[in-house]
Amino acid sequence: MKINIPETDKKRVVIVGGGFGGLKLALKLARRKAYQVVLLDKNNYHQFQPLFYQVAMSGLEPSSIVFPLRKAFRKKEDVYIRVTEVLAVHPDRQQLETSLGICNYDYLVLAIGADTNFFGNEKIARLAIPMKSVSEALFLRNRILSDYEKALSTTDYEERQGLMDIVVVGGGPTGVEVSGALAEMKRYVFPKDYPELNTDEIDIYLVEGANRLLAGMSEQSSRKSLEFLTNLGVKVRLKTMVTDFDGECVHTNDGETIRARKVIWAAGVKGAKMEGVPTSALTRGNRIRVNRFSQVEGLENVYAIGDIAYMEEEAYPQGHPQVAQVAMQQAVCLADNLSNLHRGRELTPFSYKDLGSMATIGRNRAVADLPGFKFQGAFAWLIWLFVHLFQILGVKNKVFIFLNWVWNYVTYDQSLRLIIRPRVPKSGEVEVES
């Protein structure tokens, strides 16, 4: 069975993934009208990943950081969106196998992003909490709030510590931002919501295997982020690795045992798996090796962009960083090259322009490494706010996020601490597939 997509004389470009790279590419191609564009994603919305942690920390509602894919392509001709899971690619037949059926392509672009990397530890993978989707961020929010509700009725000190203490694994931007947000909630929010609890008992740990935080940023930003977190009361463990987690206790390689039921895993990513991609094209981290034109090694008419793509250039002999800017710049370059291909023109090799890196550690605390400039503190925090607000899709989302940020800044409070659980069908009820 084939996916129901109208046939056309135009060449069909199938894009798998509606993240930063896939969405950018689809929007660019839709404006040029040279190709039929088919965008496949397992969700019907685009997710703004840099703000997942604010959903998890009750600062924003999930609806504020997602944007409906169909809304982005209103009044665009020859653009088709299908919500489906891609099961495999068959390059020899130029077909994709999906949960809806077979999808033919003339050109295929894999923008499937990355998954959480647990480095082969199945127990941690089963028990730790990742943050690679809005649903995972909402799960974390529910888990934190539910455990604090339980802590109110727990008289045993050790058991209460397990409910209240939190371990964050990974000292990159996500781990640093989550730890800072948790520390501010401990200081300003939890004492008002849970006056019966002694919030001084709450311990927030940040565990990082390297000898500094924010390894992808400057030494100056790394030192300042450590200072900010330490001043907020976060217990930072550098040159330390989590070796085991049984759901009750966290064990590290230096022999420390931390009583905590919640481990937030932000320690690394690996390329999402795609059946049918030859193993010869895969490299470390399960990324797909591509040339400077984003063409997958060994495959014809198949491209990869974003976190899944491993591309070497002179300035990046170990591949590009897995960040949104790389994905969006590769999407623009590939859109131009597909237009060049359609017109019989020469292709342009991709070159990454680093626009800088930022991380926020809480109110008036951030670090920013911009080309030629480095900032820390309140000014960096304002830059971080402006850049992320500008990148959010949709005027309504921008307004809602801005109002939430202003309210949080003025009141030191968020009004979104709701425990929202999915409804579980009762015995005998028919569960409707979503």
pLDDT tens, residue by residue, 115-149: 999 988 999 999 999 989 999 999 999 999 999 99
Topology (CATH) of 122-267: FAD/NAD(P)-binding domain (3.50.50)
> Is-same-fold flag (12-116+270-343; 122-267)?
yes
Homologous superfamily (CATH) of 12-116+270-343 is FAD/NAD(P)-binding domain (3.50.50.60)
User: Looking at the predicted structure, is the pLDDT value of residue 432 above 60?
Assistant: no
Query: Each residue of 290-342: pLDDT tens digit?
Result: 999 999 999 999 999 999 999 999 999 999 999 999 999 999 999 999 999 99
Amino acid 127: pLDDT: 94
> What does the pLDDT read at residue 398?
87
Write down the pLDDT at residue 415: 61
pLDDT at 416: 67
Higher-confidence residue of 4 and 423: namely 4
Residues marked as catalytic: 177
pLDDT (tens digit per residue) in 19-65: 999 999 999 999 988 999 999 999 999 999 999 998 888 888 888 89
What per-residue confidence (pLDDT) applies to 217?
93
Q: What integer pLDDT is reported at residue 331 of this predicted model?
A: 98
Q: Considering the chain, what percentage of its residues have pLDDT values greater than 90?
A: 79
160 φ/ψ angles, rounded to the nearest 5 degrees: -65, -40
Is residue 360 within 8 A of residue 225, CB to CB? The reply is no
Q: Band of the pLDDT at 423, cuts 50, 70, 90?
A: low
Q: pLDDT for 66-76, tens place per residue?
A: 999 999 999 88
What band does 433 get if pLDDT is binned at 50, 70 and 90? very low
Provide the pLDDT for residue 427.
57
> Residue 408: pLDDT band by 50, 70, 90 thresholds?
confident
Mean pLDDT computed over every residue of the chain: 92
Residue ranges per structural domain of the chain: 12-116+270-343, 122-267
